[in-house]
Structure formats: C-alpha cells, structure tokens
Homo-oligomer: A and B are copies of this chain.
Amino acid sequence: MRNSNKLKIIPLGGMYEIGKNMTIIEYRDEIIVVDCGLTFPEEEMLGIDIVIPDISYLIKNQEKVKALVLTHGHEDHIGAIPYILQKIKMPIYGTPLTLGLLENKLKEHNLGAVDLNVVRAGDNVKIGKMEVEWISVNHSIPDSCALAIKTPLGYVYHSGDFKVDYTPISGEVIDLQRIAKIGEKGVIAMLGESTNVLREGYTISESKVGETFKRIFSAQSGNRIIIATFASNVHRVQQIINAAENFDRKVVLSGRSMLNVTETAQRLGYLKVKKGTIIDIKDMHKYKDEDLVLITTGSQGEPMSALTRIAYGEHRKIQLTPNDVIILSATPIPGNENDVSKVINKIMETGAKVIYESLTEIHVSGHACQEELKLILTLVKPKYFIPAHGEIRHLLKHASIAEDVGVKKENIFIMENGNCLELSQKEAKFTADVPAGNILVDGLGVGDVGNIVLRDRKHLSEDGLIVVVVSISKSEGKVISGPDIISRGFVYVRESGDLMDDARKVVKATLDKCDSKSITDWSSLKNNIRDDLKGFLFNQTKRNPMILPIIMEN
C-alpha cells in the first residue's frame, strides 16, 4: 500500500522567514498541525495588516486533520488561528496560558464553540495513531513547550521556541532530563528553531534583568519610572512588579494588550501580584512620581501603542516631565529600529531620561544561542534534522552547527514552506510540494489583495494619481465635455504657467487627432491619452503618476 508507514513533514510557514510558524506532521491518513502563527507585513506590502499561511493543503485534506497542537502563546505561533478556524475546524491543544491568550483572540473575532483542550507540560495526548507530549522549555512567555510526537517510526521532536535558563523567574528550568530520555528512545526527526543561531555562546538568564531593575529603581528613587516591554513577557512584568513592591511603588498598566495579557496571566496564576500593588490609571494622580511605576506597551515604537502616544504627547492620561525615567526593556525587532529611535528622541525632547538596551542590560532574548542549540541537538540525537524558524542564513547556519555536533550532512534538510519531506525507516526524501505562501489580510479581506493591488498601491504611493475625464457622445462621435483633470498625491509648481492647464491641452490634442470613428474605440483612446500625458508629465516633472482616463458615454 502506497504511503503505508510513511511519515511526512510539511512546513506551511516559518521557513526562509521569521514568523508565521506552522508545520504539518502527517502519518498515513492522519495530520497533526503544530502551531498556526502570523507574521507582520513587509514594507512593500502596502496597507496590509497581517500575513498568514496558505492552508489549502489542510482544506483539501480536511478529513485527515486530527488536531492543532500549540507550543506557546506568541503571535507567530497562534496569531493565524482565528482566520484558519473560519475555513477548517479542529480540536486545539495547548497549555493554560497559551489557550488563555488564544481565547481572548477568539472573542475579539466573535468565534465561539472552539474545541479547546488544556494540557500541561508533562502531559501525553493520544491523537489518532500518534501521541503528543508537551515538554517544558524556557522562553520569553510562560508555559512554553517543546513537543515530542510519538509515531510508529519514532519520535518527531519539535523544539518550539526556547532558551536554556538555569535560573528562570517562575516555572521550571527546561526539562533537559525528559529531552534526554526522548533522545534515548529514538528521534527520527527534529525541527529546531533557529532565531538566534547567528549568536555565539549562551543567552543570558531572565533573572539578570531583575538585577538591573533593582539597580535602576534604587538610583532613580525620586523619579517616576516608566517601563515599556512586550505584554506577553509575563516574566519581565513579574520582575517589574517585584521591584515595585520592593521599592514601595504602585504599578499602573497602560496599553490594551498589557491590560489583557496581565489580567489573563494573573487569573491563571502566572503572575503573582500583592493586593493593592496595581492601581487603576485614573487613580495615578493621587500618587507622587517616586511612588509610581508605569508598565506600557510600545517597546517597538509601534505607531498606535501607549509609549508612542506618550512620547508624542498624545496620551490622554500620561504626560511626560523631566522627572520621568523611561526604560525600553526590549530590543528592536529588525525593521523597527527607526521607529524605536524616533520614540527615544521624542521622549528626550521632553527632558525625560531614556534608558535603552545599548546603554544597560535591560533586556535578554528568549531564544537559544549556538551553545544551547548544540546542547539540545546533542540530547535529542535526531536521525534527520530540519532547521526551522529562520531566514535561509539562519537555517544554513543551524545546519552547519548540527553537522558539527554529529548529525550526518546527508540527513540534514533545508526546507522551504510547502516542501514535503517523506520519512521511512530507511530513508528521507522530498516528494511533491504542497501549496504554501503568504495570504495577506487587509481589514476583513483575507487573501483578496494580491500583486496587482500591491503594485497599484506602490505606484500611487510614489507619484500619486491623475484622473482624466471626458464625455463622449457615441452616436455623434464627438467630445461633449472635458477633458477635465483631477490629481491626488501629485503636484508640481512650475516657474511659468499652470502644469494642469498644459496637461489638459495635451489630452485635448490627443482627442483632436481622432476622427468620429476612432474616438469611439475607447480602449485605444484611453491608451493614447495615457501615453501622451505620461510622456508630457515625465518630461516636465520627471515623475510618473498613475494616469486613469475615464470616458463617459452620453
């Protein structure tokens, strides 16, 4: 029987990119999906809100899909779920905080009746012929896990996102014992995250940041302290709250996601706060600067975030003074450097002080560096290794590290999204690709914005638009009114004479060249108007606006 005892691994996202993580594990007629994340649009994806994976393969094989299993609650692992669930239903398994954050998301999308199943690190769940085990790891959000998926061909080990933190804030150290045991039992394939693979050494422990907070709190005893960080970094928020309680300060939370995540984390027991420590922002005025710590979103300089609004003086409740100390407890994600710099500069213009990463140890990464990656590869001892979660430079580097620690070169596979790696007891090989790619989400539209729309948006954004309108009587074969010219996003001031007047003359000349017959061939008339006007405008301005000729029939 074809496909008997064959195991397939198919990444739908997370390969040749950072984000949008999603992987299919398929054994015979059963599919388990690992994670279902989104990514943020690249610069050239004008107007796009988010990007999600193409799941046509899952829709086509709907009856095979047994479950979606989640490693942790970050957007690049759970963010696409509300969109995917509109196309395909499946039971979802995840740890309490992961599902707690997912539930908030489902509520926002008005999605009820989702089959959510809480699991905890250490749990084993039999899903069809496979069995999934959640293994505790350290990461920048609590309740993160790696997955050991037991199949008749051996384990598939999916690293999730992780680091090795021997002194974590709460929760446990990554379960190296169990990972070693899985390795001993036999791992046929491992998917390993590659985010920090270009960095040598070890990632610093989260508890280091707590020490920095204490030092800063003690040095800035007369100032109001404002700390921006990722809302989902509950350990970081915990450390800020600990420092606040140590130094007798009240905590104010600002930013919608900060309020949401903190509420969920507190309710589920992942954030320990003494009664009375957190106060409502509307009571802030009752306290002196030195008795307050504000925790806000906006560490990436996001335009609508709390910190950005504070920096630009647009926040309704929080105004900066020279007595404020702002701490950016995060590193700019590549692409956000400029936004973050602008926020820092804006804050400094108010006279407030800014402490950011290049100045102090105010942030640590949640991802494993080279030595940690080697450790896990050595414990897991996979037969086949697939570097995951990274651009090609990360994947290639991770491949060479795997080779260094003893994985055979021919057993390491660099995969693109949609590639299908088929494993059997004796070999691994690529078989036919499945559809994969970026589905763009813009407002309520999922997948309707494609290359033509993006190309038009880019054209419009660079040189604007010229609309030419003319009314033509088809029966009489002549112009009744116009040409009228309207422009947007295009303007050009000449030393002498109005450019738009001359543009009208150019179109008029084009129309005059037509006889009563050719003037009713609208397709070529439009092309002629476009060509003549384009040439005229480029010659006059060296700009190329989009030209939209509109002919009204009367």
Assess whether A543 is in contact with B445, with CB atoms less than 8 Å apart.
yes
A462 within 8 A of B: yes
A467 within 8 A of B: yes
For chain A, residues 406 to 463, give those with C-beta under 8 angstroms from any C-beta of chain B. 442-445, 447-450, 452-454, 456-458, 460-463
Assess whether B334 is in contact with A550, with CB atoms less than 8 Å apart.
no
8 Å CB contact of A488 from B456, B541, B553: B456
A481 within 8 A of B: yes
For chain A, residues 157 to 200, give those with C-beta under 8 angstroms from any C-beta of chain B. 198
**How many whole Å from A551's CB to the nearest CB in chain B?**
9
Assess whether A550 is in contact with B484, with CB atoms less than 8 Å apart.
yes
A464 within 8 A of B: yes
Assess whether A489 is in contact with B457, with CB atoms less than 8 Å apart.
yes
Bound complex: CA of A335 vs CA of B339, how far in Å?
A: 9
**How many whole Å from A392's CB to the nearest CB in chain B?**
5
**How many whole Å from A59's CB to the nearest CB in chain B?**
15
Assess whether B43 is in contact with A338, with CB atoms less than 8 Å apart.
yes
Bound complex: CA of A465 vs CA of B459, how far in Å?
A: 12
> Could you name 16 residue pairs across A and B whose Cβ atoms are closer than 8 Å?
A47-B462, A47-B463, A198-B359, A335-B338, A344-B393, A348-B393, A444-B540, A444-B541, A444-B542, A445-B493, A447-B493, A456-B488, A457-B461, A467-B548, A469-B552, A471-B554
Bound complex: CA of A352 vs CA of B532, how far in Å?
A: 45
A57 within 8 A of B: no
A361 within 8 A of B: no
Assess whether B348 is in contact with A488, with CB atoms less than 8 Å apart.
no
Bound complex: CA of A386 vs CA of B393, how far in Å?
A: 43
Assess whether A541 is in contact with B445, with CB atoms less than 8 Å apart.
yes
Q: Which chain B positions have C-beta within 8 A of A467?
A: 467, 548, 550
Interface centre among A198, A354, A471, A484 (most CB of B within 10 A): A471
**How many whole Å from A548's CB to the nearest CB in chain B?**
7
**How many whole Å from A332's CB to the nearest CB in chain B?**
9
A371 within 8 A of B: no
Assess whether A345 is in contact with B550, with CB atoms less than 8 Å apart.
no
A498 within 8 A of B: no
Bound complex: CA of A554 vs CA of B198, how far in Å?
A: 68
Residue of B nearest to A354 (CB): B393
**How many whole Å from A210's CB to the nearest CB in chain B?**
25
Bound complex: CA of A335 vs CA of B336, how far in Å?
A: 8
| Chain A interfacial positions (CB closer than 8 Å to B) | 16, 42-43, 46-47, 198, 334-335, 337-338, 341, 344-345, 348-349, 354, 358-359, 391-393, 396, 442-445, 447-450, 452-454, 456-458, 460-465, 467, 469, 471, 480-482, 484, 486, 488-493, 540-543, 546, 548, 550, 552-554
Assess whether A341 is in contact with B334, with CB atoms less than 8 Å apart.
yes
**How many whole Å from A313's CB to the nearest CB in chain B?**
15
Given the interface pairs A338-B42, A492-B448, the reply to whether A345 lies near B464 with Cβ below 8 Å is: no
Interface centre among A354, A443, A469, A541 (most CB of B within 10 A): A443
State the 10 A-B residue pairs at the shortest beta-carbon distance, nearest first: A461-B461, A443-B542, A460-B460, A47-B462, A456-B489, A457-B489, A443-B543, A448-B493, A46-B461, A444-B542
Bound complex: CA of A43 vs CA of B480, how far in Å?
A: 44
Bound complex: CA of A442 vs CA of B542, how far in Å?
A: 8
Bound complex: CA of A274 vs CA of B484, how far in Å?
A: 63
Assess whether B345 is in contact with A391, with CB atoms less than 8 Å apart.
yes
Q: Which chain B positions have C-beta within 8 A of A16?
A: 345
Assess whether B552 is in contact with A391, with CB atoms less than 8 Å apart.
no
Bound complex: CA of A444 vs CA of B458, how far in Å?
A: 20
**How many whole Å from A430's CB to the nearest CB in chain B?**
16
Q: Which chain B positions have C-beta within 8 A of A334?
A: 337-338, 341
**How many whole Å from A168's CB to the nearest CB in chain B?**
28
Residue of B nearest to A540 (CB): B444
Q: Which chain B positions have C-beta within 8 A of A43?
A: 43, 338
